[in-house]
Amino acid sequence: MPGRKLTHPSRRAVLRSAGLAIGALAAPGIGLRQARAALYPERTIKIIVPFAPAGPTDIMARIITKHLGEAIGGTMIIENKAGAGGNIGIGAAAHAEPDGYTLLITSSAYVVNPGLYATIPYDPYKDFAPIAELGTSPNVFLANPKLGINSIAEMIARAKADPNELNYASPGIGTTPHLSSELLKIVSGIQITHVPFSGAGPAIQAVLGGTTQLACAALPPAHPLIESGALKALAVTGARRWFDLPEVPTMVELGFTDLIADTFQGFLAPAKTAPEIVALLSAKSVELLKRPDIAQQLRDNGFEVIANGREGMRKRIDDEVPKWRDVVAKAGIKPM
């Protein structure tokens, strides 16, 4: 119009208006996510365990999920998805819909496999949101009582006398029991044939049934069989003796100072799971683990309770991926 001066908005004003518009568009999505998180859980939650039933990860998962489901007012079921040293189950969880209804409870394989395999179906740093560091347990060297070997010294002497006689079962290639055994072979100069299985349960059944003479596995599934006398515990790989197996020495006591190794159990969700859901699961998991009755149940099954939340689990991942990559290299295991 004549006499009217035309003005143009400043660059700052344009950017501010654009920001407000984008915020208005984004807000409904954020609100919907928060609303859905507030209703969580609305249906059954699946917990993937990447190993066979009856192993330490399966034992931990079944104890935790029973109580956790009750604590959050939902139902949790276990899906054992064994194979490829845990990679199949971990990969399935990594690529699941990040809606809080598919979660993962896994073992040290999560941090060992990046150094053990040339390729794996997950990125340990990017593909998961840590929920909690649940617990840990030492590994234990086991013998069938009929073998007549009652100590690590006797095992080494027998293996040196006949390098082709002995074999041992493990929960799988690259598990901490396997790596502990291979390190023992290196430092003691013995040869024992490795027979890998798909989890601790099958490995223990192998030595129990005489398929193999020896085994190395995490303590939980072996614990009741040691107490009953069905299996002979030669040594544990923890920093100290297990509280109710005081007669079983540590490898450190026996002079193997580098053989401290445990098997941890961790709880994770696929990356991009709503932070509100991850926070809820983390808080409730830690609360449960600090309950005396649950802590005692886990201890009775061979676990030392950790009860660390998201940051504890993240630190475990950051520390142990490079640690186990180094152990794999020292053991002379070529990436598969």
Question: CATH code at 160?
Answer: 3.40.190.10
CATH number of the structural domain spanning residue 292: 3.40.190.150
What residue type is 103 in one-letter code?
L
SS3 312: helix
Kindly report, residue by residue over 207-239, the tens digit of the pLDDT: 999 999 999 998 988 999 999 999 999 999 998
295 and 318 share one domain: yes
181 and 168 share one domain: yes
- pLDDT band at residue 289 under the 50/70/90 scheme: very high
Question: Of the candidates 247, 242, 290, 76, which has an alpha carbon nearest to the alpha carbon of residue 150?
Answer: 247
Question: Of the candidates 104, 84, 85, which has an alpha carbon nearest to the alpha carbon of residue 94?
Answer: 104
- pLDDT band at residue 18 under the 50/70/90 scheme: very low
Question: Per the domain annotation, does 226 fall within a domain?
Answer: yes
Predicted confidence at residue 119, as pLDDT, reads: 96
- pLDDT band at residue 38 under the 50/70/90 scheme: confident
Indicate whether 258 pLDDT > 90.
no
Question: Of the candidates 23, 101, 43, 109, which has an alpha carbon nearest to the alpha carbon of residue 317?
Answer: 109
Predicted confidence at residue 301, as pLDDT, reads: 87
267 and 125 share one domain: yes
114 and 175 share one domain: no
Contact call for residues 87 and 132 (beta carbons, < 8 A): no
Indicate whether 21 pLDDT > 70.
no
Residue after which a domain boundary falls, among 217, 236, 255: 236
Predicted confidence at residue 263, as pLDDT, reads: 86
SS3 52: coil
Indicate whether 248 pLDDT > 80.
yes
Predicted confidence at residue 32, as pLDDT, reads: 56
Question: Of the candidates 42, 26, 35, 47, which has an alpha carbon nearest to the alpha carbon of residue 274?
Answer: 35
Indicate whether 22 pLDDT > 90.
no
| Alpha-carbon dihedral sign for residues 103, 82, 123, 113 | positive
Kindly report, residue by residue over 161-195, the tens digit of the pLDDT: 999 999 999 998 888 999 999 889 988 999 999 99
122 and 208 share one domain: no
Q: Could you tell me the residue range of the domain that residue 290 belongs to?
A: 39-137+263-330
Angle at 52 between CA 48 and CA 56, to 5 degrees: 85
Which DSSP letter does residue 250 get? B
What's the rounded Cα separation, in Å, for the pair 190 and 185?
5
Question: Per the domain annotation, does 2 fall within a domain?
Answer: no
- pLDDT band at residue 13 under the 50/70/90 scheme: very low
- pLDDT band at residue 259 under the 50/70/90 scheme: confident
Indicate whether 3 pLDDT > 60.
no
What residue type is 68 in one-letter code?
L
* CA separation, residue 116 to residues 129, 178, 259, 307 (Å): 22, 12, 19, 28
- pLDDT band at residue 36 under the 50/70/90 scheme: low
44 and 188 share one domain: no
Q: Give the number of domains in the chain.
A: 2
Indicate whether 8 pLDDT > 50.
no
φ, ψ of residue 101 in degrees (nearest 5): -105, 0
214 and 231 share one domain: yes
Average pLDDT for 312-335: 90
Kindly report, residue by residue over 45-65, the tens digit of the pLDDT: 999 999 989 888 999 999 999
Kindly report, residue by residue over 84-137, the tens digit of the pLDDT: 889 999 999 999 999 999 999 999 999 999 999 999 999 999 999 999 999 999
Indicate whether 15 pLDDT > 50.
no
Which two structure tokens, joined as six digits, stand for 3? 């006499």
Indicate whether 19 pLDDT > 60.
no
Residue 26 CB neighbour total at 10 angstroms:
10
* CA separation, residue 85 to residues 51, 179, 206, 306 (Å): 8, 13, 18, 24
Question: Per the domain annotation, does 183 fall within a domain?
Answer: yes
Cis peptide upstream of residue 41 (ω within 30 degrees of 0) = yes
Question: Per the domain annotation, does 21 fall within a domain?
Answer: no
Question: Per the domain annotation, does 249 fall within a domain?
Answer: no
Is 14 exposed, middle or buried, given 0-12, 13-18 or 19+ CB atoms closer than 10 A? exposed
φ, ψ of residue 174 in degrees (nearest 5): 85, -5
What's the rounded Cα separation, in Å, for the pair 84 and 90?
10
117 and 147 share one domain: no
132 and 155 share one domain: no
Give the global pTM. 0.79
Residue 102 CB neighbour total at 10 angstroms:
20
182 and 144 share one domain: yes
Question: Per the domain annotation, does 301 fall within a domain?
Answer: yes
Question: Per the domain annotation, does 254 fall within a domain?
Answer: no
Identify the residue with better confidence: 327 or 144.
Answer: 144
Indicate whether 71 pLDDT > 90.
yes
Residue after which a domain boundary falls, among 190, 218, 236: 236
Predicted confidence at residue 302, as pLDDT, reads: 85
φ, ψ of residue 303 in degrees (nearest 5): -105, 145
Question: Per the domain annotation, does 104 fall within a domain?
Answer: yes
